[in-house]
Amino acid sequence: MPTTTLQRSWSELWQSQGYLTGLKVFPESEIKDYRSQFDALEADQGRSKAEIGLNNLHFTHEFVWRLSTHPPVLEAIRSVLGPDVLLLGNHFFCKYPSESRGDKFVAWHQDVTYWGLEPPRAVTAWLAIDDVDVDNGCMRVVPGSHRHGILTHGTSAMAGNLLSINQEIPEESFDSSQTVDLVLKAGQMSVHDGMLIHGSNPNRSGRRRCGLAIRFISPRVRQVRANSLGRHYRPVLVCGRDEYGHFPRNPVPFQQADGN
């Protein structure tokens, strides 16, 4: 549990930088077990699907639900979103060594651009399933870029962008000289504001780079149009109360580990 001083410095960092990183949420012994479950899923579904096509499996796969609602994950999210939190969705972002699947990368973007949310406010927890570093294409962020609103997204001219509609913020639209690499050990997590500019380079290592991106919103947010995949979200209340009722109430798919 962070101390009050730590909470204050977290909050200042969050407001000025738009991200937090290096948060330890699972010890190696536990993430190893979750990694084995992901390995089995990957073997079953195939690498092409595992890259970005394993969406919202928390409704059907208990281990994804457990990863997404692990108390230290939710504690970090509450510290930035407040006491009431909806789990909006999640998906694995899995990049394989370039030589096996080509130069897959994630172009510079802001998450909330095509999610159809009003206000366009969301937070992502990115939980490392594998060790992630510069060589295998860890996430990169532009600190403070969440404070300047949503920038115009164009289309990437490079093949291999993993984003849903090949969106990209052109590099000349922002100052990319201050980019920070989010290097994480498996079991660690970063958290970023939905307006933060971020992306990631191809995986130049011989190792897989897998993380689970877990999206959260406050219940005061509505979805006013379909997202870039033409879908409507099915959020689940994971902390506090929903006094707005903007979404149909979706039952918790699995009991909490403590039986509540």
Ligand X SMILES: O=C(O)CCC(=O)C(=O)O
* Residue ranges in contact with ligand X by CB under 6 A: 93, 106, 111, 124, 126, 139, 198, 200, 211, 213
Q: Using the 8-state DSSP alphabet, how is residue 69 labeled?
A: T
Q: Using the 8-state DSSP alphabet, how is residue 184 labeled?
A: B
- Shorter beta-carbon distance to ligand X: residue 185 or 242: 185
- Shorter beta-carbon distance to ligand X: residue 164 or 255: 164
- Shorter beta-carbon distance to ligand X: residue 122 or 236: 122
Q: What's the closest the beta carbon of residue 8 comes to ligand X, in angstroms?
A: 26
- Shorter beta-carbon distance to ligand X: residue 165 or 257: 165
CA-based max dimension of the chain: 51
Q: What's the closest the beta carbon of residue 4 comes to ligand X, in angstroms?
A: 29
Q: What's the closest the beta carbon of residue 255 comes to ligand X, in angstroms?
A: 28
3-state secondary structure of 79: helix
Instruction: Count the residues in the chain.
Output: 260
Give the DSSP letter string of 88-136: EEEEEEEE--HHHH---BEEEE-GGGGS-EES---EEEEEESS-B-TTT
Residues 6+ apart with CB under 8 A from 72: 23, 24, 25
